[in-house]
Amino acid sequence: MSTLQIVYHPHPALRWKSKDVTRIDAQLKDWVGQMFDLMYEANGIGLAANQVALPYRLFVINPTGDPNEKEMEQVFINPQIVKRNGSEEGEEGCLSLPEIYGPVTRAERITVEAFDLSGRDFAMDLNGMPARVVQHENDHLDGVMFTDRVSDEALKALMPLVDDLAVQLRRQQSEGTLASDKELKKQLQQLQDERTGG
CB 31, CB 50: distance < 8 Å: no
Name residues of the chain where pLDDT drops below 70. 1, 197-198
Query: Could you tell me if residue 133 is left (phi over 0), alpha (psi between -120 and 50 degrees) or otherwise beta?
Result: alpha
pLDDT value, residue 118: 95
Interstrand relation of 74-85 and 88-94 (parallel, antiparallel or unpaired): unpaired
CB 31, CB 77: distance < 8 Å: no
Tell me, what DSSP letter sits at residue 144? -
Distance CA 7, CA 58 (A): 16
Catalytic residue among 41, 137, 153, 194: 137
pLDDT value, residue 198: 52
Task: Report the chain's C-alpha Rg in angstroms.
Answer: 16
pLDDT value, residue 1: 47
Residue 88 appears among annotated catalytic residues: no
Instruction: State pTM to two decimals.
Output: 0.94
**Helical spans, DSSP H, in the chain:** 26-41, 128-141, 152-175, 181-196
